[in-house]
A and B are shown apart, each in its own frame.
Chain A
Amino acid sequence: MKTESLWYIFINASLINNFVLAYFLGICPFLGVSGKLETATKMGGAVTFVMLISSMCAYGLHAFLIAVNAPFLQLISYIVVIASTVQLVEMFIKKMSPALFRALGIFLPLITTNCAILGLALFQTNKGYGFIESIVYALGAGVGFTFALVLMAGLREQLEFAEVPNVVKGTALTLLIAGILSLTFMGFAGLGS
Chain B
Amino acid sequence: MGKPNTPSTNSGFWANLRESPSTDDFIKGLWRENPVFVQVLGMCPTLAVSNTTMNALAMGLATTFVLLMSNMLVSSLRFFIPKQVRIASYILIIATFVTITDYMIQAISVDLHKSLGAFISLIVVNCLILGRAEAFASKNTIGKSFLDGLGMGLGFTFALICLGAVREIMGNGTLLGFGVLPGNFQEWIVMILPAGGFFTLALWLLLFNALKEKRAQA
Contacts and interface: CB of A to CB of B under 8 A. Distances in A.
A75 interface: yes
Interface stretch (B5-13, B23-31, B87-95): B87-95
Contacts of A186: 193, 195
Contacts of B205: 170-172, 175
Interface of A: 21-28, 31, 72, 75-76, 79-80, 83, 109-110, 112-115, 117-119, 122-123, 126, 166-168, 170-173, 175-176, 178-180, 182-183, 186
Contacts of A171: 40, 202, 205
Which 8 A-B residue pairings sit nearest by Cβ, starting from the closest? Answer: A179-B198, A175-B202, A27-B43, A24-B48, A182-B195, A172-B205, A24-B47, A179-B199
> How many B residues are at the interface, by size bracket?
35 or more
A149 to B, nearest CB: 14
Interface stretch (B120-128, B151-159, B169-177): B120-128
Nearest to B196: A179
Nearest to B96: A76
B206 interface: yes
B194 A76 contact: no
Contact of A168 (B118, B196, B206): B206
A122 B118 contact: yes
Given A113-B127, A122-B122, A175-B205, A75 B198 contact: no
Contacts of A118: 121-122, 124-125
Contact of B95 (A21, A79, A115): A79
Given A75-B98, A183-B190, A166 B124 contact: no
A172 B127 contact: no
A38 to B, nearest CB: 24
